[in-house]
Amino acid sequence: MRRPLIILILISLLFSCKKEEKKNTELIMYKQSEMAALMNTMYHVNLDLKEKILKGQIPDSFPERYLKIHTATLTDSTDRTSSFKQFSNLYIQNMKKVYTSSKDSLTTNFNQAVNSCIACHQTTCTGPIPRIKKLLIK
């Protein structure tokens, strides 16, 4: 009587064990677009610029890499609209003012450049707006 019970338990154990299938654990890395990388760089440069302005320092020279805003590959190529082109031209114009302005108008011109970023992002890609607003000098 004991033997059939043991055999039954062994058989049920054998059938209850399943081979686990290996799951595909390959990591897929996010590849940032050229524009996203450029804007990230712009943010950090402007963060440093803000600190310089707050310390009363005059900025060095306009970063020419900002001009890549006109040609950098976007995450979504359909976002390069006439509106985007106008906003990017305005941003470049405003940033150039920052690098040529007197100490008296430096804060105003810097905030104007930051506000041009915010205005553009209000039309497309609104996610970074809270981060961009932190650049404003109050």
pLDDT in tens, 42-88: 999 999 999 999 999 989 899 999 999 999 999 888 989 999 999 99
Q: Which residues contact 79 (CB under 8 A, 6 or more apart)?
A: 124, 125
- The pair phi, psi for residue 48, each rounded to 5°, is -65, -40
Burial 31-42 (b: 16+ CB within 10 A, else e): eeeebbebbeeb
Question: Does pLDDT of 20 surpass 60?
Answer: no
The pair of three-digit structure tokens given for residue 17, joined into one six-digit string:
């064990």
> What pLDDT is recorded for position 3?
73
pLDDT in tens, 91-132: 999 999 999 999 999 999 999 999 999 999 999 889 999 999
- Among 127, 120, 115, residue whose Cα is nearest residue 82: 120
Residue type, 51: E
